[in-house]
Structure 1
Amino acid sequence: MFNLLWSILFVIVNFAFFLLCFRLFGKKGLYAWVGIATVIANIQVAKTIAMPFDIVMTLGNTMYVTLYLTSDLLNEKYGRREARNAVWFGFFTLLMTTVLMQMVLVFKPEGDPVFQTSLETIFGLMPRLALGSLAAYFVSQFLDVHLYAWIRKFYGSSRQLWIRSNGSTMISSFVDTLIFCTIAFAGRFEFEIWVEILLTTYVAKFLLTGAGTPVLYLARSFKFAEDEQPVRKD
């Protein structure tokens, strides 16, 4: 029960920081959020937790859902090109972090090896996790951007933002979850556990996407000087 209650607070804090980052820094803040979230989500996903009814799930889902919120918000306010650029920025950030931290681990430590051990614990699994995340991120995020733009052709009014956002995210997040869990966890866990992680991860993203809808509406209402410029939909 503690993990469930703490998760509710955790989700609120994540969404609050997402809104604050956009409110304080505007579009640049969204790009910064993409860079931060891609790295943090891949560190958090290494930790599995138990929820009520003996459900096993990984962390990182909340932070990852905010990436979809970010791309949808950029798509909504600034056009599909900005959303695509943000996806490329996140992809580069994760790739850069993975390469640099793997190089850091190769250095021979001096003195107490506890710090080396800690880094290996955190980043030792990162190549496989990052490979899964890079593949899943690349496919699902670009899918989300294009699905959002496609759904917008049919549900383009301001009140139908929830249809565009939830429709694109719920489809692309399933693709993301399937790709990531296959690459990162197949063979690491028994098949039953792998299926449980796959399903619970997607259900968590599904619920978090719904919970993030009011956050997206609130973020869209923020006004900035750059909003006066024409939005390119390409």
Structure 2
Amino acid sequence: MFNFIWGIFYVLVNFSLFVLCYRLFGKKGLYAWIGVATVIANIQVTKTIDMFGIVMTLGNAMYVSLYMTSDLLNEKYGREEARKAVWFGFFTLLMTTVIMQMALVFTPQEGDLAHTSLKQIFGLMPRLAIASLTAYFISQFLDVRLYSWIRKYYSTHGQFWIRNNLSTMISSFVDTLIFCTIAFMGEYEWNIWVEILITTYLIKFVLTAVGTPFLYVARSFKFDEDK
């Protein structure tokens, strides 16, 4: 029960900070969020938790916020800005992976406190990075394309929630399937793997709906750059 209650608070803080980042820094804030969220999500995913007897990974709230960011960019600034943000996130994750793998090669001094912990977290990153980069690349560009396609049929101001939810829910399923297959297949027993796959997608499904009101708030902001 604690994980569930803390999880609700955690999600609200994540999405509130996303809105605040945009409020304070405008379009640049969305690019900054993409860069930070891609790294944090891939660190958090190494931790599994139990909620109501179900095994799930962390990082879902941050990952859903990536879809929120690209959809908001698509909505307010156009498809090309959304595509550019996806490339930025891809580069950020790739850069982090390369730099941290090089950092782990250094021989730590006697009495060093950080190396073992860093190795436990970032030592998993090559496989996780391949999984994440592949899933991110395919699903995010799919989301941008789907959002633009859905917008042709649901283009009114009030149908924003349809565009956002449909594109994200489809893309996040593709993302979850690709990521779980590359990252966790063979690492966990089959039943645990299936459990992680299903719960991860269901959580993203719910989080997408929860994030919609935050997106409406963010869309209402006006900046000089919007003119």
After TM superposition, the score normalised by the length of structure 2 is: 0.99
2:217 aligned residue? 218
Amino acid corresponding to residue 162 of structure 2 in structure 1: I
Structure 1 residues 59-208: aligned runs within 5 Å: 59-208=58-207
The unaligned stretches of length 5 or more in structure 2 are none
3-state secondary structure, aligned to 2:55? strand
1:96-151 residue CA offsets vs partner (Å, 9 max, x unmatched): 00000000000111121431101101111011111100000000000000000000
3-state secondary structure, aligned to 1:212? helix
Question: 1:43: Cα distance to partner?
Answer: 0.2
Residues in 2 aligned to 1:7 and 1:112: alpha-carbon distance in whole angstroms: 36
Amino acid corresponding to residue 70 of structure 1 in structure 2: T
Residues in 1 aligned to 2:210 and 2:200: alpha-carbon distance in whole angstroms: 15
3-state secondary structure, aligned to 1:134? helix
1:137-169 residue CA offsets vs partner (Å, 9 max, x unmatched): 000000000000000000000000010000000
Give me the CA root mean square deviation.
0.5
1:33 aligned residue? 33
Amino acid corresponding to residue 142 of structure 1 in structure 2: F
3-state secondary structure, aligned to 2:221? coil
3-state secondary structure, aligned to 2:114? helix
Question: 1:203: Cα distance to partner?
Answer: 0.1
Amino acid corresponding to residue 143 of structure 1 in structure 2: L
3-state secondary structure, aligned to 1:18? helix
2:42 aligned residue? 42
1:153-211 residue CA offsets vs partner (Å, 9 max, x unmatched): 00000000010000000000000000000000000000100000000000000000000
After TM superposition, the score normalised by the length of structure 1 is: 0.96
3-state secondary structure, aligned to 1:114? coil
1:231 aligned residue? none
Residues in 2 aligned to 1:115 and 1:90: alpha-carbon distance in whole angstroms: 27
Q: How many residues of Structure 1 are paired with residues of Structure 2 in the alignment?
A: 227
1:10 aligned residue? 10
Amino acid corresponding to residue 12 of structure 1 in structure 2: L
State the percentage of identical aligned residues: 73
